[in-house]
Amino acid sequence: MKEFSLDYLRCIKCNSKLELDVFKKQNEIEEGLLECKKCKSLYPIIEKIPILWEDFPNYISNRRKLGGRLVNSVSIKMKKFLKNSLRKIPNIEDRTNLEERWANIYQNSKRSRFYSKIKSELKIIPKSKLVLEYGCSIGIMSSFLAESNQFVFGVDRSFRAIKIATSKSKDNLDYFVADSLSPIFGKTKFDLILALNLLELIEPAEFLKQISSQIQNGTLIITDPYDYDRGKNSVKNPLDENTLRQNLKNLKFKITSKTSNPSNISWNLKLNPRTTLNYKVDLVVAKK
């Protein structure tokens, strides 16, 4: 974790500033705890990655394979914290293998023309002080954004994906494991927010309201293939290309004329050597 991030992070539960207890540090904070002195919430930093999860025992208990690995790689002080967290909640579902698989898929698909298209859109946007990418995964776009903006933050719920992202981090770029609906930045306003292909993984209307509260005078770039079929994990209130645009207008965004109509941008994901998933993705650029 980069120390400059401490100026922007807030407690998920009470919106208070967080204090840092460093266990291990070299060029950046490699291990430690972010602590809220007001409500006593604790958020661990492990292998340079802050895990800002409201219920950390739940997060790690749903990833016991990951938790077991981490326990064997951390200091005695962090080992105790992890073991206590793993004891509190019974194993419900181990998402470790699933998240590792998708991190690898994104790695194998990072040369997709989809990313070139998004980069071309980003190049025409003025440089910003604060930039946030939701669902940043392995950091393809966050890393690109850091080349031309002052501070960039990437958020994803996959520890494995963020671990890959941090391996090529930049001095002005920081990553966090967090749920995209968690207010980890409190009332901070961003100049640019990027949200690529997330609407099927999070309640869209709720997500858009949060983004709207984080942009006072800036730009949102959002894409999605509207592939909502996720079985028991499907969102309750999906949006299509038209309702997405109407929701943004209701939130006082102005959609650029170039993206006022639905689009079909190819996004190819290489699932394995014999299988490629071909999406047609819609792009919306909206401003306040």
Domain total in the chain: 2
Same domain, 283 and 150: yes
74 occurs within a structural domain? yes
Same domain, 82 and 122: no
Same domain, 118 and 57: no
Percent pLDDT > 70 in the chain is 99
What is the C-alpha to C-alpha distance for residues 217 and 225, in angstroms, rounded to an integer?
27
Same domain, 35 and 158: no
Average pLDDT of the residues in 215-236? 93
> Which of 141, 123, 122 is closest to 133 using CA atoms?
141
Same domain, 271 and 145: yes
C-alpha pair distances (Å), 152 with each of 55, 113, 192: 25, 23, 9
99 occurs within a structural domain? no
Among candidate residues 61, 94, 127, the one where a domain is terminated: 94
183 occurs within a structural domain? yes
Tell me the per-residue pLDDT of 42-95, one tens digit each, with 9 for 90 and over: 999 999 999 999 999 999 989 989 999 999 999 999 999 998 888 777 767 899
139 occurs within a structural domain? yes
195 occurs within a structural domain? yes
Same domain, 72 and 178: no
DSSP SS3 for 60? helix
What is the C-alpha to C-alpha distance for residues 96 and 100, in angstroms, rounded to an integer?
6
DSSP SS3 for 29? strand
Which residue range forms the structural domain that includes residue 243? 104-287
Residue 31 has pLDDT above 70, yes or no: yes
Global pTM?
A: 0.95
Same domain, 217 and 267: yes
Query: DSSP code of 246?
Result: H
What pLDDT, on the 0 to 100 scale, is given for residue 92?
73
Same domain, 196 and 112: yes
Average pLDDT of the residues in 94-105? 95
